Amino acid sequence: MSIPAIRSTLLILCPLILLAGCATAPQETDASATALSSTALQCPPPNGIPQCADEKLGALLRQPPETGVEAPRGRLEKTGWSALPKWENDDLARALGAFTSGCPVLAEQPAWASICTTATALGARARNAQIARFFRDNFEPYQILNTNETSAGMVTGYYEPLLHGSRTRSARYRFPIYATPQDMLTIDLSSVYPDFKHKRLRGRMDGGKVIPYFSRADIDNGASLLNGLEIAWVDDAVELFFLHIQGSGQIQLENGERLRIGYADQNGHPFRSLGGALIRKGEIRPEQASMQGIKEWTRKNPGKAQEFMNTNPSYVFFKELPGGLSGPIGTLGVPLTAERSLAIDQRVVPLGVPVYLSTTYPGTATPLNRLMVAQDTGGAINGAVRADFYWGFGEEAGKLAGRMKQTGRMWVLLPKGYDSKASLSDSSASTKTAGQ
């Protein structure tokens, strides 16, 4: 396509781009999770009020990049094993299991094939000392640094909730979970503009024009817009809203069956924090903006709940997952492991790699030092030292995830001799990317 033709296309798309965000796997922690910018990360954000992650997208399109190279979002600095706080005290068998679960994807890359073979051969019965030796012999640690050379960032949490629902609509079950609409367009400009490599725009046709896809308010207020796409119906609009934020969940059907659903796509609108909206309007204080605090506010203010939920125009579409999975499917394309899977910004951290995380338990100063695996991404996970900790399934996991907004540091473990700069330029190679 010629440059004039490309720019003509962009002029058509400008209204869509300015209104629609970039669709990525959703896994934001809670409505107060910070949608961090690609520049200097602040922990916590100013005044506790979240900011939007993709405000620069319209400006990028109005001024197409000249260099053809995406601006760095952070960097990896080689360090020694002694820099990782108490890493050998961790239960490394669980970390090894999470790592090998991603090997069917990783092993497609030559740099990882032999390492995956060795890791798999160790098996579940290997002792901690053996596993520690495996990591020391095969990997080198790199500390993740932000663009301003700081090493601290925000660590939030997410989980897999349980909702109650039915395959058919009734007076009790009246809030739909939708599959991906067939009329939603996916627009990929990455082959021409590398800055959009990890961004996919969503829209729909209106006559001869591409316009933004329906927003949350459009969908929730327009009962007939997505008729026929209902996977199931649930009994609580607020729980459904938070299902969209988590990106996956299970539905206990009234006939006794259990349905697992996962992220399929997103409407292209940017994620806006419900917690931030409530804070700005004086409805809650910043310290109340956890998932639990926001749910409590909705119970006390049922008449206002939908109005405030609609301030987040982002809407997630789901797909039914096979039964028998050990966990929800992450961006890497493998089931997530409770307390071992991490959602990261894959423009800095390659998917599938081990990541050592040093942070604290939710709402406390108790150290949480753990070897994790980068297996997921999220719409609010933007920036170098930025992660979402997967706590697992159910109510207890939800309590931990909802309270987690901690400061942390991160180290990536890369194979010896691995080109860390190449990993930043093409961190999504050979991975299955949800929602992109």
Q: pLDDT (tens digit, 9 = 90+) per residue, 324-342?
A: 899 999 999 999 999 999 9
pTM of model > 0.85:
no
- The mean pLDDT of 166-193, rounded to a whole number, is 92
Residues found in the chain: 436
Mean pLDDT of all residues in 255-283 = 94
Q: Crossing angle of helices 110-122/128-138, nearest 10°?
A: 170
Peptide bond into 141 cis (omega under 30): no
* DSSP classification of residue 222: -
Structure tokens at 53: 């992650």
- Render pLDDT for 78-132 as a digit per residue (tens, 0 to 9): 999 999 999 989 999 999 999 999 999 999 999 999 999 999 999 878 999 999 9
The torsion of the CA quartet 411, 44, 389, 264, rounded to 10 degrees, works out to -110
pLDDT score of 314 more than 80: yes
Instruction: With cut-offs at 50, 70 and 90, classify the pLDDT of residue 198.
Output: low
- 62 or 252: which carries more pLDDT confidence? 252
Q: What's the token pair of residue 60? A: 């990028």
Q: Residue 17: which of 64, 49, 51 has the closest Cα? A: 64
Largest CA distance in the chain: 65
Tokens of 2: 């010629």
Residue that wins the pLDDT comparison between 78 and 420: 78
Q: How confident is the model at residue 70 (pLDDT cuts 50, 70, 90)?
A: low
Give 104-113's long-range contacts (Cβ < 8 A, gap of 24+).
Answer: 104/334, 105/332, 105/333, 105/334, 105/351, 105/352, 105/430, 105/431, 105/432, 106/352, 106/430, 108/430, 109/429, 109/430, 111/415, 111/418, 112/352, 112/415
Instruction: Give the sign of the dihedral formed by CA 329, CA 413, CA 23, CA 269.
Output: positive
Q: Where are the domains of the chain?
A: 75-157+334-390+402-425
CA dihedral 327, 270, 156, 128 (to 10 degrees): 40
Say yes or no: domain 75-157+334-390+402-425 is CATH 2.40.40.10: yes
